[in-house]
Structure 1
Amino acid sequence: MTARCIMVLGTSSGAGKSWLTTALCRHYARQGLKVAPFKAQNMSNNARVVASADGMGEVGSAQYFQALAAMAEPDVRMNPLLLKPEADTRSQVVLLGQVSAQLSDTPWRGRSEKVWPRIAAALDELIAENDVVVIEGAGSPAEINLMDSDIVNLRVARHANARCLLVTDIDRGGAFAHLYGTWALLPPEDQQRVQGFVLNKFRGDASLLAPAPQMLQERTGVPTVATLPMWWQHGLPEEDGMFDDRSLMQGAVRKTVAVIAYPRISNLDEFQPLKNVPGVRLLWVRSPADLAGLEPQDWVVLPGSKHTSADLAWLRQQGLDAAVTAHVQQGGAVLGICGGLQMLGEALIDTHGIDGNAPGLGLLPLVTQFAQDKTVTKTQAILGLVHGPWSALSGVAVAGYEIHHGQTQAHPAMLAAGTVLHDITPGLVWQSGDGQVLGTYLHGLFENLPVLQALFGAQVPTLETVFEGLADYIEQHFQPGVLESLIR
C-alpha cells in the first residue's frame, strides 16, 4: 500500500489549514479509503495523550481530531514534532510523543537536521500503511527566511510528492494578493505542486469575485477550486485561538462559564463542547471587570497552563486572584483543571527547576510539588460523592487524559487543624469543604456526554456529527471532480 498524499498549505496562520485538513480526512474516509493525517511540526499548547512506542505520548490536538475524522487511531507519528511554548523565546520539544530536554535546549535552526530523519521516517511509515495521507502545513510555505531550515512545508511536500491546495482567509482582505504572492515566492518546482486555490471564510455574493479567479489562473496556471462561505458554528475545536463570540450558540443565557485566559493557557480546546450547550455562554476573562457581572450560579474556570507559576503571577498582577476569591465568597462555583488545580492550592514547590515556586490561591488545602518526569496518561474513573453546585457529577463515569509535572497532595497540617477536604477521586479530583471549589487533573471533562447531561441536562452535537458536517460542506462547495482528481 502506497498512499496518495494531499497537502493543505496556507497563505498565513489562521487561514483554515487545520479545518480543511480535518474535512478532507473525513471525506476520503467516507469513500472507504484508509486515511491518516500528518503534520510534521506543530506549535501548540493544546495536546492529547495517545499511544506511542514508549508507552503514552503527546500529539497536537489538531492531529488528534484529524485522526478521529479519518476514522483512524491517533498516533504520535501523525505529529512527530510538537513544540509547546513555555515563554516568548522558549518551547518544550516533544519528539514522537516524548519530551526531549536536549532538543528543547537546541537552537531553532540547529534542531531541523536533527529531527528531520525521524519526521521523514514517520511520514514514510504512514504512506506505506494507508491509501491517503492528508498533510497539513504550518504558517505559510513562503516564509523565505525559514526555507533553509524548513521541515514542515515544502520539504515535506517534496518528500511525499504531495499535491497541494493553497487556502487563504478572504475575510481578512487581500486574498488574491496573498495567493499570488505566496505562489510567486515558491521555487518553480514547488509552484507546480499547487493544484488549486481555496478561498475560505467568504461572505457575500460569490459572483462579485469575477474576474479575479480567472485572472489569477492566467498568471499562475492554478484554478480556484473552492469558495467556502463563512461558517461560524461548524463545531470543530479551535486549535489555538480563543473562541469568537460569533461562533456561540444562540438563545437565552442561563449560565456563564468564565474561563481565565492567562498567557500560557493550554488545552483550551476541551471547552468546545460548552459552546454548543443551549443556554451556556462561554466567556474569556483577562481582567476583574470581566467577572464583575457574574451571578452565584455562574462558574469561574482556571484552565490548564504550560507555565503554572508564571500564569499565577500574571493572574495576581491583573487582580484576578481577588476576583476569583470574591466569587467564591459570594457563593459562586470555581473549577480548576490541571495547572488551574495547582493554582487553587496552598503552594507550588519546585526543587528541580521545572516550573517555579509560588504561593497558591489558598482555595483548596493542597500542595503541589513538581517532578522531573511528566505524567502523560489516559484516565478513566467513576466520580465519588460530589458536593454543592457540582453534586450532579456524583457517580458519573468520566474519561480523559492527564499531562502534568506536578504531583498534588493534601496539606497535612491544615487537615490536622480541622480544614475539610473532600478527596473525590484519589489523586485526580478534590473539592473544598463547602463544595464550591472543585479541582481535577482530568482534561477532557466536558467531552464526556454523561457529564454534560448531568450538569446541563443537554444533548450536544458529537464529534462524529461535526466531522460529517465538515465533509458535507466541502463536498458541496468544491468544484465537481476536484477532490477525486487529487488522489487519482
Structure 2
Amino acid sequence: MNPQANPGPQRAKCVMVLGTSSGAGKSWLATALCRHYARQGLKVAPFKAQNMSNNARVVASPAGAGEIGSAQYFQALAARAEPEVRMNPLLLKPEADTRSQVVLLGQVDAELSAMPWRGRSEKVWPRIEQALDELRADHDVVVIEGAGSPAEINLMASDIVNLRVARAADASCLLVTDIDRGGAFAHLYGTWALLPEADRARIKGFVLNKFRGDASLLAPAPEQLEQLTGVPTVATLPMWWQHGLPEEDGVFDDRSRSSGAVSRSVAVVAYPRLSNLDEFQPLKNIPGLRLVWARSPADLAGADWIVLPGSKHTSSDLAWLRAQGLDRAIADHAEQGGAVLGICGGLQMLGEALIDTHGVDGNAPGLGLLPLVTQFDPDKTVRRTQACFGELAGAWSALSGVAVQGYEIHHGQTAQHPAMAAAGDLAREVLPGLAWQNPRGNVLGCYLHGLFEDPAVLQALFGAAAPTLDAVFDGLADYLERHVAPGVLDALIA
C-alpha cells in the first residue's frame, strides 16, 4: 500500500507514540515516523501538546518568532515541514526543581508560569486543542509524541499531553519501551493495564527499543503478552548508538561518539540547568573528536577546548560551577592558553558580573575571563540571526570572515564593562552585539546558538563536515522500515 494524499478538507490521520517512561525512545521514533510518511508523498506535521525541556529552537510564530522544543523542531524537518509554534503549543523550561518558565504558542506567559500545574492544564487545553485541530486540517498525517507515560494515574485527571490528546486526535498509538533497562514486558503490560478500557483499544502495537542480543531469546514473551492484552509486538529495535539525532533530554553517552583515534577532546560543562545541549550533536559526528561532559575539575583534564553552554538560570549554574571548583580549573586552562568558548549563558558567565534589577535570573560575579557585564531584562530576545565574523585571533582565528546563521534565546544584554573599558581593557567585538574575544585570542563568548550546526563553521574549525540532517532522517526511516513488521506503518493511517 502506498497511501495517497487526502483530498479536500478531510482531517489528518493521527499516529501517536506513547512510552512506558521518559527516555523510552518516543522522540526518535516519532522523528522516524515523520520521515517515513513524508517519503510516501504525504503532507506530515509533528505535534507534542506539552514538552518539558530546556532544549528549544526559534521558529515561525504569529508574533514573528517563538520557541518550541527541539524535538518537535527536528521532527518538523524530518517531515519536510516548516517548524512552527502549533507543533509544540506548550513548552515548559525548568528554572529550578519546582519552577518552570511557561511558553505558550511560542511566547513566555508570566501568568501561566506563576499558576499551579493542575490549575494550568484546563486553562491551556483549548489552545492546545485548537493547534491540533488546525494542524489536522492542513495535513494528511500528524505524528504525535506523548510525554513520560500515559499511565501516571496521579496525573490522568489533568492530562493534556497523553490520553486526552489521543482521544482528541482519534489517534492510533504505538507504545514503546526501553528493553535495555530491564522489565520491559512488565512495563508494557502494566502501562496497558492501567489505561481506561476504551483507551487500551487505541494501542495498535508494542515496540521494544534498544535491544541487544539474539531476538529469538525473547520468545515466548511477545506471544504471551499478546494473549494477555490483544496487542502484538510489532517491532524489536536493536540498540543503535550512532543514529545522529540529538538526545532530547540526556547527556551524550561516550558509546555514541564517532569511531577512530581521538585527536581532539572537547569538554562541555554540564551544569544543572544547561540548555540547548542538542546543538553539540554535530561534534559527536566529527571523526577523531571526543565530546566529554564535565561535572568536576578532573573531567577537564586533557581537554583541548572547554565549552560553557547555554543555561536556563545562569546565576545558579555559576554558583554550582564554583561549588565544584570548576571556576579555578577553567581559569587555569585559559591562563595556560587553552581554548574556552561560552555560548549564551556561558558567555554571560565569562564576563565580570551579572546584574539583575528585575528579578529575572539573579546577581553574581562572573568568571572574569572577558571584560564584559550582563544586565538581565524582563523582555526576552527570541530570533533567528545571520551574521559574519570579523577578524579573530588565536585559537578561533579560523572563524575570521565566516558567515554564520543560528538563533538567540536570552534575557541578558551584554556589553563592555564601563570602568574596564575606560582603563583600556576591552574585549574584541567580533560579531556586533553578539560575540567578543579576549586580546590573547583563546577565550570567545557568543550569544549565537547553533554554531556547530553551520557547515561553514565545521569546515573552518575542523576541516570536516558532519552528516546532513536529511541523511540522518533518512537513516532513521530506513532503520524503522527494516525492523517493523510488514504493513504496520500503513495500517496505522489506513
The two structures have a TM-score, normalised by structure 2, of 0.98
Within the alignment, does 1:116 sit opposite 2:116 as a pair? no
3-state SS of the aligned residue for 2:65? strand
- Give me the whole-angstrom Cα distance separating, in 2, the residues matched to 1:319 and 1:208: 48
Deviations along 1:156-184, one digit per CA (max 9) or x if unpaired, are 00000000000000011111110000000
- Give me the whole-angstrom Cα distance separating, in 1, the residues matched to 2:394 and 2:49: 46
* Shift, 1:54, TM fit: 1.1
Among candidates 236, 245, 254, match of residue 245 of structure 1 = 254
**Equivalent in the alignment of 2:3:** none
Q: Does structure 1 retain, via aligned residues, the 8 Å contact 2:416–2:426?
A: no
Equivalent position amino acid for 1:83 in 2 = L
- Equivalent residues in 2 for 1:124-273, closer than 5 Å: 124-273=133-282
- Give me the whole-angstrom Cα distance separating, in 2, the residues matched to 1:118 and 1:427: 36
**Equivalent in the alignment of 1:18:** 27
**Equivalent in the alignment of 1:418:** 424
- Give me the whole-angstrom Cα distance separating, in 1, the residues matched to 2:470 and 2:347: 31
- Give me the whole-angstrom Cα distance separating, in 2, the residues matched to 1:9 and 1:174: 17
Equivalent position amino acid for 2:405 in 1 = A
Q: Does structure 2 retain, via aligned residues, the 8 Å contact 1:349–1:368?
A: yes
Equivalent position amino acid for 1:60 in 2 = G
Within the alignment, does 1:478 sit opposite 2:484 as a pair? yes
**Equivalent in the alignment of 1:328:** 334
- Give me the whole-angstrom Cα distance separating, in 1, the residues matched to 2:27 and 2:465: 26
- Give me the whole-angstrom Cα distance separating, in 1, the residues matched to 2:294 and 2:422: 36
- Give me the whole-angstrom Cα distance separating, in 2, the residues matched to 1:291 and 1:211: 48
Deviations along 1:377-416, one digit per CA (max 9) or x if unpaired, are 0000111111101000011111000000000001122122
3-state SS of the aligned residue for 1:145? coil
- Give me the whole-angstrom Cα distance separating, in 2, the residues matched to 1:412 and 1:351: 18
Q: Does structure 2 retain, via aligned residues, the 8 Å contact 1:419–1:433?
A: no
Within the alignment, does 1:455 sit opposite 2:461 as a pair? yes
3-state SS of the aligned residue for 2:60? strand
3-state SS of the aligned residue for 1:124? helix
- Give me the whole-angstrom Cα distance separating, in 2, the residues matched to 1:290 and 1:205: 36
- Give me the whole-angstrom Cα distance separating, in 2, the residues matched to 1:112 and 1:421: 47
- Give me the whole-angstrom Cα distance separating, in 2, the residues matched to 1:168 and 1:372: 41
- Give me the whole-angstrom Cα distance separating, in 2, the residues matched to 1:421 and 1:160: 54
- Equivalent residues in 2 for 1:374-453, closer than 5 Å: 374-453=380-459
**Equivalent in the alignment of 2:6:** none
- Give me the whole-angstrom Cα distance separating, in 2, the residues matched to 1:413 and 1:377: 31
Deviations along 1:420-469, one digit per CA (max 9) or x if unpaired, are 32110111111001111000000000000110011000121010010000
Unpaired runs of 5+ in structure 1? none
3-state SS of the aligned residue for 1:55? coil
Deviations along 1:26-61, one digit per CA (max 9) or x if unpaired, are 000000000000000000000000010111100000
* Shift, 1:24, TM fit: 0.1
Among candidates 53, 57, 60, match of residue 48 of structure 1 = 57
Give percent identity, aligned residues only. Answer: 79
Unpaired runs of 5+ in structure 2? 1-8
- Give me the whole-angstrom Cα distance separating, in 2, the residues matched to 1:230 and 1:321: 37
**Equivalent in the alignment of 2:364:** 358
Equivalent position amino acid for 1:473 in 2 = Y
- Give me the whole-angstrom Cα distance separating, in 2, the residues matched to 1:74 and 1:303: 24
Aligned residues: 485
Deviations along 1:50-82, one digit per CA (max 9) or x if unpaired, are 010111100000000000000000010000000
- Give me the whole-angstrom Cα distance separating, in 2, the residues matched to 1:375 and 1:292: 35
- Give me the whole-angstrom Cα distance separating, in 2, the residues matched to 1:90 and 1:332: 36
**Equivalent in the alignment of 2:5:** none
- Give me the whole-angstrom Cα distance separating, in 1, the residues matched to 2:336 and 2:67: 39
**Equivalent in the alignment of 2:311:** 305
**Equivalent in the alignment of 2:4:** none
* Shift, 1:252, TM fit: 1.1
RMSD value over aligned CA atoms?
Answer: 0.6
Deviations along 1:5-37, one digit per CA (max 9) or x if unpaired, are 000000000000001000000000000000000
3-state SS of the aligned residue for 1:207? helix
3-state SS of the aligned residue for 1:348? strand
Q: Which runs of 4+ in 1 moved over 4 A?
A: none
Q: Does structure 2 retain, via aligned residues, the 8 Å contact 1:350–1:369?
A: yes
- Give me the whole-angstrom Cα distance separating, in 1, the residues matched to 2:296 and 2:395: 24
Q: Does structure 2 retain, via aligned residues, the 8 Å contact 1:367–1:408?
A: yes
